[in-house]
Amino acid sequence: MKKIIAIFIALIILSTSNISWAKPIDFSGGVNNEYIYEEVVFLTGEPIKFVGEVKVTEKEKDNEITVSYKFELEPEDKTISGSLKRTINYVTTLTSKNDKGQTIGQTEVTKYSEKIKINDDEYELANYQFSRSEVIDERPASDFYSGSIKARKYYTINKNQGSVTVDITGGDVGYENFWGSTDTQLITYIIASTRSTAQGSNDVITWEGTVDLQVSDSLTKNLRYSDNQANLSSFDGGYIKTTSRELVSRYQYNLPKMDGLEPNSKTRNRGTINLSKSMVPKVERLVVPKFRDLGGHWAESYISKLYSLEVFDETSQFFTPDIPMTRLEFTKAVMKACNIRPTLTEEKKSSRLSRKNKVVEISPFLDISTEDENYPYIKEAFEKGLIFGDISGNFRPNDSLTKAEAISILIRALGFENRAPAPGYYLTFSDSSQIPSWAKDSIYVAREIGLVQGDNANKISPNKKMTRAEASAMLVRFLEFLEKDLQRDYRENIINY
């Protein structure tokens, strides 16, 4: 039978208009690509890999998300006859805590059916209790979440010949941002089997085992420069954005050594099974920068990347990399780099609406007019807590950006400003005494996560006016953190893959 995976929702399909977030299918440790799904089943006391197709559908209404899975699998080992048919509906109810910038999700099973046939035995899911609760911290640059899982599956064996109970505990951690997402599940199965040796027999066989499951689903976007192979062209080359997705899974099991149906009381079957699948990457060509003053400049690649990503929207042929970057320019660039695009809603004019009934918007800053073309970016950045005014209520948009200001904005975008220890901690830079008090926490955290480091003299130079080139380099490092560092922390550092 030809088995082709059919995945119909945005969790799997890489859409041009929406981000496809990484989420492992179900809570069974399975992995998939566009063509096939596979997982390992342990109900007999022996690990058996099943392969085949899974269909996933998702519906969202108000504050509820319903995800439905339909599996049709068979053993990969053709010497084993069998099948796996499973249908599961999970419903997640979301409760927003707007004052805290968080959302609480509560997931339960509303529908289930599962039959697994392995040679002469049939395991049928008679009861499935499932509860998952997660908290999502919605930060400007990335959403971070963590969930806890408790569940129990109860299977009958050949209707009345016995039962298998699988207790499931664990959780998952993940993040989602414009540059990628990772969801890593850490789950433990405790399996207890009780069955009679034959229909109607009073002789009972029992065994217990454990399976530790680690499964991670990661989606990443990265940039690669590609030279133009033609000599007579209006441009030398440009950047390609590649979206990749990979699922990896590891089962570590401790089961009885089975002699037929009988477990060997003196020997255990311990082992590890690794699974992995990758999606076909999606490639996109980006716009080509044509600045005339960047050739050979040390920051040429940084600036070109940001322009190709439309973080910079310069129309001039000259970027002027060595002049100071303004506070407005950097704030706008961060908003675009995080893909936090302000909603520009044009007010519909109506002759029937009198001027006195119109709501007049007030700018949060005295020196930024609501009529300014960049006002939506400044307003959004202020509302998300990335920027603040001075004691006079001014933003000072055209002032030169200092390094301390730039670092503080990036750390606030990540939501990491509260990760610094209690006051009294020690900053190791040789010019730490020059760091403004309001920037100390952000600079401490930025150093800890590898976003910034000292120069050859171990100076951070917090009050230095940053050039457009220096600010570009810092923005690219920030994007690399969103792209690579988060994935490494949420996948490799957890499952040691």
Whether the per-residue pLDDT at 1 is higher than 80: the answer is: no
Which helix or strand (DSSP H or E) is residue 469 part of? helix 468-480
- The per-residue pLDDT for range 14-29, each reduced to its tens digit, is 332 333 467 889 999 9
Residue 314: predicted pLDDT? 80
Please give the share of the chain, as a percent, with pLDDT higher than 70: 90
Q: If you average pLDDT over residues 5-14, what whole number do you get?
A: 34
- The per-residue pLDDT for range 52-68, each reduced to its tens digit, is 999 999 999 989 999 99
- The per-residue pLDDT for range 105-118, each reduced to its tens digit, is 999 999 999 999 99
Whether the per-residue pLDDT at 9 is higher than 50: the answer is: no
Residue 200: predicted pLDDT? 58
Q: Cα(427)–Cα(226) distance, rounded to whole angstroms?
A: 41
Q: How confident is the model at residue 124 (pLDDT cuts 50, 70, 90)?
A: very high
Residue 343: predicted pLDDT? 55
CA torsion 213-214-217-218 (nearest 10°) is 180
Residue 324 has a CB neighbour count (10 Å cut-off) of 19
Residue 496: predicted pLDDT? 67
**What token pair was written down for 239?**
């950047």
- The per-residue pLDDT for range 362-384, each reduced to its tens digit, is 999 999 999 999 999 999 999 99
Residue type, 133: S
Q: What is the CA radius of gyration of the chain?
A: 28
Residue 12: predicted pLDDT? 36
The closest alpha carbon to 77, from 119, 139, 23, 31, belongs to 119
Residue 348: predicted pLDDT? 40
Please give the share of the chain, as a percent, with pLDDT higher than 90: 72
Residue 10: predicted pLDDT? 35
Q: Cα(300)–Cα(321) distance, rounded to whole angstroms?
A: 9
Whether the per-residue pLDDT at 316 is higher than 70: the answer is: yes
**What token pair was written down for 255?**
């089961």
Residue 306: predicted pLDDT? 93
Residue 226: predicted pLDDT? 86
Backbone φ and ψ of 356, nearest 5°: -70, -20
Cβ(44)–Cβ(63) below 8 Å = no
The mean pLDDT of the chain is: 88
Residue type, 83: S
Cβ(20)–Cβ(219) below 8 Å = yes
- The per-residue pLDDT for range 416-460, each reduced to its tens digit, is 998 999 888 889 999 999 999 999 999 999 999 999 999 999 999
Residue 358: predicted pLDDT? 61
Residue 495: predicted pLDDT? 78
Residue 352: predicted pLDDT? 47
Measured over the CA atoms of residue 395, residue 400, residue 403 and residue 406, the dihedral's sign is positive
Q: Cα(277)–Cα(414) distance, rounded to whole angstroms?
A: 30
To 10 degrees, what angle do helices 327-337 and 375-383 make?
A: 70
Residue 211 has a CB neighbour count (10 Å cut-off) of 21
DSSP letter, residue 481: I
Residue 88: predicted pLDDT? 96
Q: E-assigned strands of 260-307?
A: 262-278, 282-285
The closest alpha carbon to 119, from 165, 65, 147, 158, belongs to 158
Residue 199: predicted pLDDT? 60
Whether the per-residue pLDDT at 258 is higher than 90: the answer is: no
Residue 188: predicted pLDDT? 97
Residue 17: predicted pLDDT? 32
Backbone φ and ψ of 473, nearest 5°: -60, -40
Residue 21: predicted pLDDT? 61
Q: If you average pLDDT over residues 108-137, what whole number do you get?
A: 96
Whether the per-residue pLDDT at 8 is higher than 60: the answer is: no
Q: Cα(32)–Cα(90) distance, rounded to whole angstroms?
A: 19
Residue 435, classified by CB atoms within 10 Å of its CB into exposed (0-12), middle (13-18) or buried (19+), is buried
Measured over the CA atoms of residue 89, residue 73, residue 217 and residue 239, the dihedral's sign is negative
- The per-residue pLDDT for range 336-361, each reduced to its tens digit, is 998 766 654 434 444 444 455 567 88
Q: Residue 273's beta-bridge partner residues?
A: 251
